[in-house]
Amino acid sequence: MPKKIAVLAGDGIGPEIVAEAIKVLSFLNTDMNLGLVFENALIGGAAYDAFGTPLPQTTLNLCKNADAVLLGAVGGPKWEPLAHAIRPERGLLGIRSELNLFSNLRPAILYPQLVDASTLKPEVVMGLDIMIVRELTGGIYFGQPRGVHVAENGEKVGINTKIYSESEVRRIAHSAFKIAQKRHKKLCSVDKANVLEVTELWRNVMTEVGKDYLDVQLSHMYVDNAAMQLVRAPKQFDVIVTSNMFGDILSDIAAMLTGSIGMLPSASLDANAKGMYEPIHGSAPDIAGQGIANPLATILSVAMMLRYTFNQPEAAERIEHAVNTALDSKVRTADIYSEGMIKVSTSGMGDAVLNAL
Amino acid sequence: MPKKIAVLAGDGIGPEIVAEAIKVLSFLNTDMNLGLVFENALIGGAAYDAFGTPLPQTTLNLCKNADAVLLGAVGGPKWEPLAHAIRPERGLLGIRSELNLFSNLRPAILYPQLVDASTLKPEVVMGLDIMIVRELTGGIYFGQPRGVHVAENGEKVGINTKIYSESEVRRIAHSAFKIAQKRHKKLCSVDKANVLEVTELWRNVMTEVGKDYLDVQLSHMYVDNAAMQLVRAPKQFDVIVTSNMFGDILSDIAAMLTGSIGMLPSASLDANAKGMYEPIHGSAPDIAGQGIANPLATILSVAMMLRYTFNQPEAAERIEHAVNTALDSKVRTADIYSEGMIKVSTSGMGDAVLNAL
Ligand SMILES: CC(C)[C@H](C(=O)O)[C@@H](O)C(=O)O
Ligand SMILES: CC(C)[C@H](C(=O)O)[C@@H](O)C(=O)O
């Protein structure tokens, strides 16, 4: 049975970087006889422009029937004036929610070849390898009630609701503990339990689930301290698990520590390892269409797809190894360029990976 | 008329660091004839232990009748098992709310003497001087409904509500714009307007208020990007204004960039510049009672008090200058110690500042 991949290039640099990832994946598909088939669809601003909605039903159906989704990025200033419900971001949030992709894995790995690109001192980040597990279908991103209404005194009031049920916390806890078991067996759960009751529930459930994973050392940290510790001594972390909103913030900090936000992939998984794969970075509208974006995060997202959804660790490693080889050969896109390196375009970087496969 | 200061030492290292700040302030009080009177009261865990509540009515009354409040820090693991409503943190949050201290100023300044203490490369942080303006009496910290309830299916559900009215955003906007006018006239408002309707209202009100301050350059940034930009290129910021929760996180990142979280003061002001002054750092229960905590953040908080509430810029500058002189003389508490410096205790540091006055 063919394995179906829905390809959603999206907006901004999305199409450029996805093209490179597909180039790499198609090669492996043939070379290793993986049996993958690709089908494209529109999402985000591109879908809005064509159909008036950021998540057309046909796109959603395609994703539901696929085994995995490869996403570029969505959004851009062009669509910022739109009402919330039809913004490009809603397309992304819609897929996460409709496909139940509650477990978002965001590795922050420092490539030793790029240590100079970090703004942190080398000794602070050298060897950095953190996995952030972000709850992706709950919390304040999806809680009701939400919206802006007019109060009795005539002024506008905006509301969003951060809400988690025990079962929502329990399933992300199990995901995170399982991942910690395969790594260095340290899990730090990040909350704001001293102020927010919802995160106190979060903390209690984490502690309870922890009893099933006695080989994993569980700790708890307040989100303000965690943000600070990521800057102070990031290597203290192995796996971090946190809510949707906190995970959004912390994963961007962690990514930036590595100096290579253009390099970092992500996986968003449901309970059966069906998943959506996308770079951590956004649609970078300012450089779209110039052929200078870094395709490595998307290429590495494909490696995560092969590992998590298609259970092809060997194919995943071939890609990761090829990325390393490309970096060793000193080719760099503009975002990770430093003196003495060879500057290449988006497709130049894709070719470098392809040649190293 | 005497000017009254309510002194709330609080928990952990609170009493040790407040003692040093009072030492410095009492000297200036006599020397410059400032007419300040001090009165102590309990708050936080200390108040809970004595009275069963983190914010006794007598403490609250004292604060309401005072012109300014000097706070050490609250909380510690000892009180973590307590129910939310009686936690030490509730004492702090109670004062912020009851005194209407909606405008929280958190400067992040790099002391050139301490550049080595930062984990960031010197060129990234040298000269760093950011002011974070955090909304302090609204948002998810105080929104209703909140709490944990049992749903129909028997499972627990936790809820907190992020809520802002136009007028709440408007008043913090005016605070922030006014501060920006006195600095480099750049204001960055941080929100998550692409996902949260409440922060879309925030963004719209900021833009509207901005029309009254055409000399200030207003920009908007999503919170995940802002966290990242603080690590990537913090010197791009002058003043940041944001919500209670985002401000909690971003101000800790900004503070840590300077490598001297033990050095950074804060002011929390109402509409009439009545205020509470406290170090940004917490109660550090792990080092409490050892006489090794850094009192400079509290001493510098007193300088902010003299400037903002008592309109004594000269006295404020004397303190800030004395702190600089102390640092120049190479005395360092453990948190900012590096090779070649002279390690001093909490009171040793207080004395160094006093001698430099
Ligand atoms: C684009 C936006 C809706 C999204 C989020 O906030 O989740 C992005 O920042 C991310 O982290 O994937
Ligand atoms: C102690 C805690 C309630 C407080 C907060 O979250 O506001 C602290 O972290 C701070 O930043 O002042």
What are the 10-residue block averages of pLDDT along chain B, 357 residues in total? Answer: 93 98 97 97 97 97 97 94 90 97 97 93 97 98 97 96 98 98 98 94 98 98 97 98 98 93 94 95 94 97 97 97 97 92 98 97
Judge whether B50 lies within some domain. yes
Neighbours of B49 (CB within 10 A): 14
Q: Which residues of B are less than 8 Å from A158 in CB distance? A: 163-165, 196-202
Q: Which residues of B are less than 8 Å from A235 in CB distance? A: none
pLDDT at A1 over 80: no
Residue in B187, B168, B196, B198 with CA at minimum distance from that of residue B226: B187
pLDDT at B83: 87
Whole-angstrom CA distances from B21 to B68, B106, B281, B307 are 14, 18, 15, 15
Report the DSSP pairing between strands B129-135 and B239-242: parallel
Q: Which residues of A are less than 8 Å from B160 in CB distance? A: 161-162, 196-199
**Sign of CA pseudo-dihedral B47, B48, B49, B51:** positive
The tokens for B100 are 């209407």
Residue B74, chain A, CB below 8 Å: the answer is no
We report the CATH number of the domain holding residue A90 as 3.40.718.10
Question: Would you say the CB of residue B248 lies under 6 angstroms from ligand 2?
Answer: yes
3-state class (DSSP) for residue B303: helix
Judge whether A188 lies within some domain. no
Q: What is the pLDDT of residues A65-80, one digit of tens each?
A: 999 999 999 999 999 8
Question: Would you say the CB of residue B142 lies under 6 angstroms from ligand 2?
Answer: no
Same domain, yes or no: B224 and B321: no
User: Which residues, in sequence order, are bridge partners of residue B73?
Assistant: B10
Mean pLDDT along residues A176-185: 97
* Angle subtended at Cα B337 by Cα B331 and Cα B340, rounded to the nearest 5 degrees: 70
Domain final position from B257, B283, B306 = B257
pLDDT at B151: 94
Distance between CA atoms of B145 and B210, rounded to whole angstroms? 32
The tokens for A235 are 């290597």
Interface of A with B in 103-122 (CB under 8 A): 119-121
Ligand 1: centre distance to CA A50 (Å): 22
3-state class (DSSP) for residue B270: coil
Judge whether A248 lies within some domain. no
Residue B208, chain A, CB below 8 Å: the answer is no
Judge whether B124 lies within some domain. no
Question: Would you say the CB of residue A225 lies under 6 angstroms from ligand 2?
Answer: no
DSSP code per residue over B19-39: HHHHHHHHHHHHHTT--EEEE
Interface of A with B in 248-307 (CB under 8 A): 248-253, 255-257, 261
Q: Do B158 and A223 touch (CB under 8 A)?
A: no
pLDDT at B260: 80
Per the CB < 8 A criterion, the answer to whether B137 and B96 are in contact is: yes
The count of residues in chain A is 357
Per the CB < 8 A criterion, the answer to whether A227 and B252 are in contact is: yes
Mean pLDDT along residues A267-295: 95
Residue B232, chain A, CB below 8 Å: the answer is yes
Neighbours of B38 (CB within 10 A): 14
Q: Do A148 and B121 touch (CB under 8 A)?
A: no
Residue in A253, A245, A241, A247 with CA at minimum distance from that of residue A216: A241
Neighbours of A151 (CB within 10 A): 11
A286 labelled ligand-binding? yes
Q: Do B158 and A163 touch (CB under 8 A)?
A: yes
Same domain, yes or no: B158 and B43: no
Q: Do A200 and B87 touch (CB under 8 A)?
A: no
Residue keyed to tokens 């005016």? B174
Same domain, yes or no: B183 and B236: yes
Neighbours of B271 (CB within 10 A): 12
Judge whether B161 lies within some domain. yes
Distance between CA atoms of B191 and B177, rounded to whole angstroms? 16
pLDDT at B150: 97
Burial of A324 (C-beta count, 10 Å sphere; 0-12/13-18/19+): middle
Is B337 one of the annotated active-site residues of the chain?
no
Residue in B231, B226, B282 with CA at minimum distance from that of residue B258: B231
Whole-angstrom CA distances from A237 to A126, A202, A232 are 13, 19, 11
DSSP code per residue over A1-36: -PEEEEEEEESTTHHHHHHHHHHHHHHHHHHTT--E
If you compute the radius of gyration of chain B from its CA atoms, what whole number of angstroms results? 20
Question: Would you say the CB of residue B140 lies under 6 angstroms from ligand 2?
Answer: no
Same domain, yes or no: B243 and B269: no
Residue in B329, B326, B313, B336 with CA at minimum distance from that of residue B356: B326
Cα atoms in the Cβ-side hemisphere of radius 13 Å centred on B130: 30
- The residue nearest atom 7 of ligand 2, judged by CA position, is B248
pTM for the structure as a whole: 0.96
pLDDT at A182: 95
Determine the residue type at A26. Answer: S
Per the CB < 8 A criterion, the answer to whether B265 and B303 are in contact is: yes
pLDDT above 70: percentage of residues in chain A? 100
Judge whether B120 lies within some domain. no
Ligand 1: centre distance to CA A92 (Å): 8
Q: Which residues of B are less than 8 Å from A261 in CB distance? A: 228
Cα A216 to its chain centre, rounded Å, is 24
Q: Do B158 and A231 touch (CB under 8 A)?
A: no
Q: Do B197 and A146 touch (CB under 8 A)?
A: yes
Q: How many domains does chain B fold into?
A: 2
Distance between CA atoms of A71 and A81, rounded to whole angstroms? 23
B77 contact partners, CB below 8 Å, separation of at least 6: B285
Report chain A's mean pLDDT, rounded to a whole number: 96
B80 labelled ligand-binding? yes
Judge whether A70 lies within some domain. yes
Distance between CA atoms of B71 and B279, rounded to whole angstroms? 8
From B209's Cα to the closest Cα of chain A, the distance in A is 15
pLDDT at A83 over 90: no
The ligand that comes nearest to the alpha carbon of residue A283 is 1
The tokens for B247 are 């401000």
Residue B144, chain A, CB below 8 Å: the answer is no
B324 contact partners, CB below 8 Å, separation of at least 6: B111, B113
Same domain, yes or no: B283 and B246: no
Same domain, yes or no: B143 and B244: yes
A303 labelled ligand-binding? no
Ligand 2: centre distance to CA B248 (Å): 7
Atom of ligand 1 at shortest distance to CA of A278?
12
A284 labelled ligand-binding? yes
Domain final position from B229, B257, B285 = B257
Residue A332's pLDDT band, with cuts at 50, 70 and 90, is very high
If you compute the radius of gyration of chain A from its CA atoms, what whole number of angstroms results? 20
Q: Which residues of B are less than 8 Å from A130 in CB distance? A: none
3-state class (DSSP) for residue A312: coil
Residue B76, chain A, CB below 8 Å: the answer is no
Same domain, yes or no: B161 and B196: yes
Atom of ligand 1 at shortest distance to CA of B192?
6
3-state class (DSSP) for residue A109: strand
- The residue nearest atom 6 of ligand 2, judged by CA position, is B248
Residue A345's pLDDT band, with cuts at 50, 70 and 90, is very high
pLDDT at A186 over 80: yes
A312 contact partners, CB below 8 Å, separation of at least 6: A32, A34, A306
The pick from A194, A199, A222, A223 for probing ligand 2's pocket by mutation, whose C-beta has the most ligand atoms within 8 angstroms, reads: A194
Phi, psi of B197 (to 5 degrees): -60, -40
The whole domain housing B177 covers 129-257
Q: Do B231 and A119 touch (CB under 8 A)?
A: yes
pLDDT at B2: 80
Same domain, yes or no: B202 and B169: yes
A84 labelled ligand-binding? yes
Same domain, yes or no: B230 and B278: no
Judge whether A85 lies within some domain. yes
From A310's Cα to the closest Cα of chain B, the distance in A is 31
DSSP code per residue over B152-216: TTS-EEEEEEEEEEHHHHHHHHHHHHHHHHHTTSEEEEEE-TTT-HHHHHHHHHHHHHHTT-TTS
Residue of A192, A201, A250 lying closest to B148 (CB–CB): A201
B139 labelled ligand-binding? no
- The residue nearest atom 2 of ligand 1, judged by CA position, is A89
Distance between CA atoms of A137 and B173, rounded to whole angstroms? 32
Ligand 1: centre distance to CA B354 (Å): 50
From B353's Cα to the closest Cα of chain A, the distance in A is 27
Distance between CA atoms of B252 and B103, rounded to whole angstroms? 17
Distance between CA atoms of A268 and A48, rounded to whole angstroms? 23
Same domain, yes or no: B69 and B167: no
Domain final position from B213, B229, B257 = B257
Same domain, yes or no: B4 and B97: yes
Per the CB < 8 A criterion, the answer to whether A251 and A281 are in contact is: no
pLDDT at B261: 85
Atom of ligand 1 at shortest distance to CA of A104?
12
- The residue nearest atom 1 of ligand 2, judged by CA position, is B89
B96 labelled ligand-binding? yes
Same domain, yes or no: B134 and B152: yes
**Sign of CA pseudo-dihedral B137, B139, B141, B147:** positive
